[in-house]
A and B are shown apart, each in its own frame.
Chain A
């Protein structure tokens, strides 16, 4: 465990209980910071637009990332395509605070994810289950998020992924030591990380919810399911009143176990983003199936 990796895990700890918001320009970044976001994710198109417009979705224009870095004091994150280590090198050169190796962008490598230990800047990666989370951590991710199904405004997949990770952790924790290598083989996860989960009953890094969170109650739901914080992508700036919704989601995340506060902040938010029923999406439009 290098010192740099520890510092990167530590930054994720500082984001706990907070909301990370997708933004496409400096103006949105300022709105997000003012609303109480703990970080912003800089990208050219939010996931719902990536779905609509199609084509190859890539890392953002470095100029736009620099403008956002200049506009806010909170950490600035940005996405790279799965396996695209050259895009990650570019973001590292820009001193980005966190890289999201993300299934929301079009994968650049269908076999290999980025070897993340060779970077100084931290990485967050998506996962649908414990094995996938531990593979990414094995490659050097210092933070995990559920994949959910980005750009749908439908929280069902994020719930499924969080519940799956929790159930997998419970299984590993209650297994006997003799079973751990077989579990590591079944899950396709590094043995030492399975062993860590067995002893500690949790992931070795912070785990956020992402992919489909659109309302304050969605955020409260994911926090009560045990997430450490939430990412909101299209949910804020594709709604009718972004500033108000952003503040409401921040408050609901902080007071996730207080239904009276969640009720109060949910009043008169205007319309949520246009949403999609995940069951109606065909196989290749499911973003969560990208990466392994």
Chain B
């Protein structure tokens, strides 16, 4: 049984937990204390507001433990705000959060809520079927180190990528009926 924690400081936590509940051998749980973060096998940093999540991470002194666990190989997946939290560089913000992934992101890259959109793609590495993608005031990656594997681009922008044990997506698989990205991440957890 693998325990996957969803960082539960702010944002779309229950949506990820509901999705993870569909898999045999996965025990999902909400985590917001050091001892809870120490006890999980993998972590999802959900969508929400990166400024709010980042502030709480630092106020409650959780960045250190999460960062050291990620550097020690714990699988982690950041969706939307979670991508911003993982990034080493943020082009349009002086704030930095966990600084573990060699990507440079653009916050609110697509603009305001009126520019939020959904689409779908085929991505054989993740799934045989069509995958629906939902972007809510989403960030995207403008630059990535060669250590980072690009999984998906939309127009010029990287919207899904992986660096070893770290996965980042601009979009929100937890808001759709599709399970393929959650299945992919469960696979990363061995």
B-contact bits for A245-276, CB 8 A (1 contact / 0 none): 00100110011000000000000000000000
CB neighbours of B10 from chain A (8 A)? 16-18, 38, 254
By beta carbon, the residue of chain B nearest A74 is B49
Task: Knowing A120-B114, A254-B10, say if A14 contacts B136 (CB, 8 Å).
Answer: yes
User: How many residues of B sit at the interface, in one of the four size bands?
Assistant: 35 or more
A190 CB-CB contact with B under 8 Å = no
Tell me the complex Cα distance, A129–B49, Å: 29
User: B90 CB to closest chain A CB, in angstroms?
Assistant: 10
- Interchain CB contact under 8 A, B112 and A97: yes
CB neighbours of B52 from chain A (8 A)? 18, 36-38, 74, 250
B157 CB-CB contact with A under 8 Å = no
- Interchain CB contact under 8 A, B8 and A10: no
CB neighbours of B117 from chain A (8 A)? 7
A13 CB-CB contact with B under 8 Å = yes
**Chain B contact surface mostly:** loop
By beta carbon, the residue of chain A nearest B92 is A73
Tell me the complex Cα distance, A122–B117, Å: 13
Tell me the complex Cα distance, A92–B112, Å: 11
A200 CB-CB contact with B under 8 Å = no
Central interface residue in B47, B56, B113, B136, by most chain A CB within 10 Å: B113
One of B11-19, B21-29, B68-76, B158-166 contacting the partner: B11-19
User: How many residues of A sit at the interface, in one of the four size bands?
Assistant: 35 or more
Binding site for A on B (CB under 8 A): 8-15, 32, 47-49, 51-52, 55-56, 59-60, 80-81, 92-93, 107-108, 111-114, 116-118, 134, 136-137, 172, 175
20 A-B residue contacts at CB 8 Å? A6-B118, A7-B116, A7-B118, A10-B172, A10-B175, A11-B116, A14-B11, A14-B80, A16-B13, A16-B14, A17-B9, A17-B11, A33-B51, A36-B56, A38-B49, A74-B49, A75-B113, A98-B113, A122-B113, A255-B32
Please name 15 further chain A to chain B contacts, defined as beta carbons within 8 Å, in addition to the given A17-B10, A96-B112, sorted by A numbering.
Answer: A6-B118, A6-B134, A7-B116, A7-B117, A10-B116, A14-B11, A16-B12, A18-B11, A18-B48, A18-B52, A39-B49, A73-B93, A122-B113, A250-B52, A251-B59
